[in-house]
Structure 1
Amino acid sequence: MKVRTRVAPSPTGDPHLGTAYVALFNRIFAHQHNGQFVLRIEDTDQGRSRQSSTKAIQDTLRWLGLDWDEGPDIGGPFSPYIASERLQIYRSIADKLCETGMAFPCFCSKERLADVRAHQRERKLTPKYDGHCVSLSRQKVSSLKAAGKPFVIRLLVPNDGVCEFHDQLRGKITVPWSQVDMQVLLKSDGFPTYHLAAAVDDHLMEITHIFRGEEWLSSCPKQQLIYQGLEWQVPALYHLPLLRNSDRSKLSKRKQATSINYYKRSGFLPKTLLNYLATMGWSMPDEREKFTMQEFQKHFDPTRLSTTGPVFDIDKLKWLNGEYIRELSLAQFKEQLLDWSFGEQRLERILQLMQERTEKFDDVFTKMDYLIGDRVEVVASQFEDGALTRENCLRILEFTQRKLSLVEPWKRDGIFKELKQLSVVMNLKFRDFLKPLFIAISGRSVSLPLFDSIEILGSDITMSRLRSAIVSLGGISKKQLKVFDKDWQSLHPHPLE
């Protein structure tokens, strides 16, 4: 059997550490067995998918050295490798599932579905689809379609009994069918959900083994029904433990940087990040923590994978990075430092800001230090201002994070427009609104132009500094967060993420 693995990220935001984590194990396993590692792009959520995110995923995986044998940019025998270019394939499979009685068209409106789930919650039941359209006759279905009634395709799930599936790390897992929802497989816009796209593409691309996060365990019963309905063989599944924050909660951008680009821009070497991710849930036979990817590939054994969620410890990552940096020759250190500091045209953009604000050369580095390295640590007293309370500052910082997460592309004028609009709806003078942002971004109340600085720093570093500033003010309590959520919904037309 030819081993084939894959990683299939969604291009809906910054490239996530979790993507690198699962890509690493999939690639190592495939190449260890002289197989192929495939990159697919699951752009099934058209409302959130971005072409820029697709490029960022490819750029960051290549920066890490996790290149692929088949994928969107290099093609392969199973092209195309982007979900949105395979819609006819998904439609034909969904139709086949309907013909065999494994799926059915559902014409329920969003309003009806919301009412059903609300009533289920009132009765302390698990919210799920109630099977309203399961028994529609062929004639009724045809008449509704002819009338132009929008519909989705749902998976038919048994009412009774249990689903049994096998995870290579956990063994046999049993789930009552009563806990499994009748999942939408094909949306009314013709795009598949992940459940259909992943199952179809894994089969058609002859994927044999899948390493993915344990959050996808709940999808196994649904995908197993698809495989059984089409008489396909299920790939070998390895559900890796989720990366955790220091408090053991799931790694999330609210508490810690999750973007690969943040770690790249913070000065971590790609070999450091790969080495550290390899120790997340797995260990070398001799328990050493520092090893090359060649050594990892030689010694990797899936039976040594743990199911306990590993803590992503930034201090340990820093230690490991220091070990690798000290191994560099002076020439390598100089070259990589200069590339990190001034690469990607960063120097030119910074100097454009500096030249018109410089009276003598020794002004330059003290003014632009926060754009190259980390800014100084900020403290609560820096935010003290007669016009703004601590809660005002927290609200501004939190809402700025949320607003900036919607900015696409990441350009100065767009950033200015969004934050100016935010200050208006928050009923704050723009000058007052900007004060905590200057401190959060630069560490000082006066700096180089704020919006140019934010563009140069990029979204990852900007978001990290806003989070850090929130922490310096004592953080946001759960009670405060609920209040902020309610305020945000009243101010902003977009739903909360």
Structure 2
Amino acid sequence: MFEKPAFSSIKTRFCPSPTGYIHLGNVRTALFSALLAKHLKGCFLLRIEDTDKARSDEVFTHALIEDLRWLGLHWDEGVEVGGEFGPYHQSHRQNIYDDYYERLIAMKMAYPCFCTEAQLSLHRTLQQKSGKPPRYSGACRRLSETEIQNKIAMGIKPTLRFQLLENETITFVDMVRGEQRFESNDLGDFVIRRADGTAPFMYGNAIDDALMGVTHVLRGEDHVANTPRQIAILKALSLPVPKYGHIALIVGPDGSPLSKRHGSRSLRALREEGFLPLAILNYLSRLGHYFGHDQFLSLDELAAQFKMESLAKSPAKYNEKQLLFWQTQTVSQLSDNAFWEWVGPSIQSIVPENKQHEFVAAIKPNVQFPLEVKQWAEALFAELPSFNEQQEAVIQSAGKAYFSEAIIALEAHGKDAEKITTHLKEKVGVKGKALFMPLRIALTGHEHGPDLGVLFSLISPKTMKRRFERGVY
């Protein structure tokens, strides 16, 4: 028998199902749960809810563990860390669930249900057409023991339903939304064991939270209606009930649920694109939570300033520009060594060793992703690709005389950017954009970037001359 444990300290949890790569909504739930635990000096637990055999995949379990660690969200208890309340994969906890199933059956709080999905779907449709909330009718609640045994003998595998008390009001104080009230008659009896014997979310999630000593549950507002059902299960079994807080969902700019068409992608995809962990953390921590400022914060600082009362009740709108803003801020916070490590060996191999520090100092303020760093490395130290149509127009507009004078100035003044531009201004009679843009494009293939003087110092005179000659011949 598994007895309820006693707890005193604060414990939050994140309990994903490994059915795909972890997406931004789940990442934010994990982040808020971790920040709350860290803020309250509590324990952050990671549990894997993998009882859905058809959809769960060990590949995704390993991926989410790797991605969370890359993000910097380290858990104090749970998968691969251990603890006294394991196992931490639900697929390994069937004997625990079975024990509590037997208790509920003995208490006449659960009964087998033989209704087919087609029957249930038809009944829900009829209820909705008559303006009633869709809920289970309780048809199998009234089966006699003989009827139950006859159906089992026919080979019909039943689910197990929890029997809610009638005419009962279930209340709880949501940490985000305040008092919530639900009438048991509106909820209906619900499935707590699938026909294959495994535990669905409603049951396993509640049992595990109680037995693992979870004190504070943060999750999306789409779970609000699940909470009274889970409270009913825990109270029936005399298990501790955690505090629940339901955070506003993330939506797209148009107010619809966040999806790929809004630019949403998995944490794995963002990582592969070159987003930095603290960029994602600084953005997501402000998506539905108000800090009162836009200062760049470390994970410890985010936790120190995290407040439950600052969680928003209205939907949080995803904004790609804001995510990019925090990426820029994070790149600027990197030390030169961290920046160099971030860009990776394929880019490091392009940049001459004696130019590394100068290159990093010049490029870091002008890039957001390693791909951009690679483009600059190739522009400065390899061969330029062909100009695009707009760039070719700038080169043609500057004219052969412009680049002939640029070559003369280079040979006379070396890589002195100020003297070269002064020479061009006097000899060709150009200024402003017409003076600087052809130089920049001819030398780098970019319309914008570091100061010309910095670029001149990075490119060899031989390379500069060869690139100016493209404008002459």
TM-score between the two structures when normalised by the length of structure 1: 0.66
* 1:338 maps onto 2:344 in alignment: yes
1:341 Cα shift? 7.3
Distance in structure 2 (CA, Å) of the matches to 1:89 and 1:255: 42
Distance in structure 2 (CA, Å) of the matches to 1:341 and 1:174: 58
Distance in structure 1 (CA, Å) of the matches to 2:233 and 2:21: 31
Match of 1:440 in 2: none
* 1:287 maps onto 2:287 in alignment: no
1:62 Cα shift? 0.6
Distance in structure 1 (CA, Å) of the matches to 2:346 and 2:27: 20
SS in 2 for 1:206: coil
* 1:191 maps onto 2:198 in alignment: yes
SS in 2 for 1:23: helix
Match of 1:260 in 2: 267
* 1:328 maps onto 2:334 in alignment: yes
SS in 2 for 1:134: helix
Larger Rg: 2
For the structure 1 residues 265 and 135, does the alpha-carbon distance in structure 2 shift closer, same or farther, using more than 3 Å as the test?
Answer: same
Letter in 2 for 1:77: E
Match of 1:96 in 2: 103
Match of 1:445 in 2: none
> Equivalent residues in 2 for 1:485-496 (5 A)?
none
Q: Is the 8 A contact 2:280 2:323 kept in 1?
A: yes
SS in 1 for 2:250: coil
Match of 2:231 in 1: 224
* 1:45 maps onto 2:55 in alignment: no
1:161 Cα shift? 4.5
Match of 2:320 in 1: 314
Distance in structure 2 (CA, Å) of the matches to 1:90 and 1:239: 26
SS in 1 for 2:290: coil
SS in 1 for 2:172: strand
1:311 Cα shift? 1.3
* 1:113 maps onto 2:123 in alignment: no
Match of 1:379 in 2: none
SS in 2 for 1:239: strand
Letter in 2 for 1:305: L
Distance in structure 1 (CA, Å) of the matches to 2:116 and 2:385: 59
Distance in structure 1 (CA, Å) of the matches to 2:306 and 2:325: 23
For the structure 1 residues 50 and 340, does the alpha-carbon distance in structure 2 shift closer, same or farther, using more than 3 Å as the test?
Answer: farther
Distance in structure 2 (CA, Å) of the matches to 1:275 and 1:320: 7
1:143 Cα shift? 4.0
> Equivalent residues in 2 for 1:293-312 (5 A)?
293-312=299-318
1:170 Cα shift? 1.5
Letter in 1 for 2:282: N
Q: Is the 8 A contact 1:11 1:53 kept in 2?
A: yes
The CA deviation string for residues 78-97 of structure 1, in whole angstroms up to 9 with x for no partner, is 11101111112112212211
Distance in structure 2 (CA, Å) of the matches to 1:265 and 1:137: 58
> Equivalent residues in 2 for 1:394-433 (5 A)?
none
* 1:276 maps onto 2:276 in alignment: no
For the structure 1 residues 254 and 46, does the alpha-carbon distance in structure 2 shift closer, same or farther, using more than 3 Å as the test?
Answer: farther
Q: Which runs of 5+ in 1 are unaligned?
A: 343-360, 368-497
1:194 Cα shift? 0.3
Q: Is the 8 A contact 2:253 2:262 kept in 1?
A: no
SS in 1 for 2:142: coil
1:12 Cα shift? 0.8
* 1:60 maps onto 2:67 in alignment: yes
The CA deviation string for residues 226-275 of structure 1, in whole angstroms up to 9 with x for no partner, is 01111222101111111121112222234332311121122211011011
Q: How many aligned residue pairs are there?
A: 348
Q: Is the 8 A contact 1:167 1:236 kept in 2?
A: yes
Match of 1:464 in 2: none
The CA deviation string for residues 50-88 of structure 1, in whole angstroms up to 9 with x for no partner, is 111111110110110001112222222111101111112
Q: Which moved more, 1:111-120 or 1:220-229?
A: 111-120
1:332 Cα shift? 2.2
Match of 1:172 in 2: 179
The CA deviation string for residues 429-481 of structure 1, in whole angstroms up to 9 with x for no partner, is xxxxxxxxxxxxxxxxxxxxxxxxxxxxxxxxxxxxxxxxxxxxxxxxxxxxx
Q: Is the 8 A contact 1:251 1:258 kept in 2?
A: no
TM-score between the two structures when normalised by the length of structure 2: 0.69
Match of 2:358 in 1: none
Letter in 2 for 1:248: G
RMSD across aligned positions (CA): 2.5
SS in 1 for 2:12: strand
The CA deviation string for residues 316-373 of structure 1, in whole angstroms up to 9 with x for no partner, is 110111111122233322220126979xxxxxxxxxxxxxxxxxx989x979xxxxxx
The CA deviation string for residues 17-75 of structure 1, in whole angstroms up to 9 with x for no partner, is 12221111211222233321110111122111111111111011011000111222222
SS in 2 for 1:331: helix
> Equivalent residues in 2 for 1:381-400 (5 A)?
none
* 1:86 maps onto 2:110 in alignment: no
Match of 1:384 in 2: none
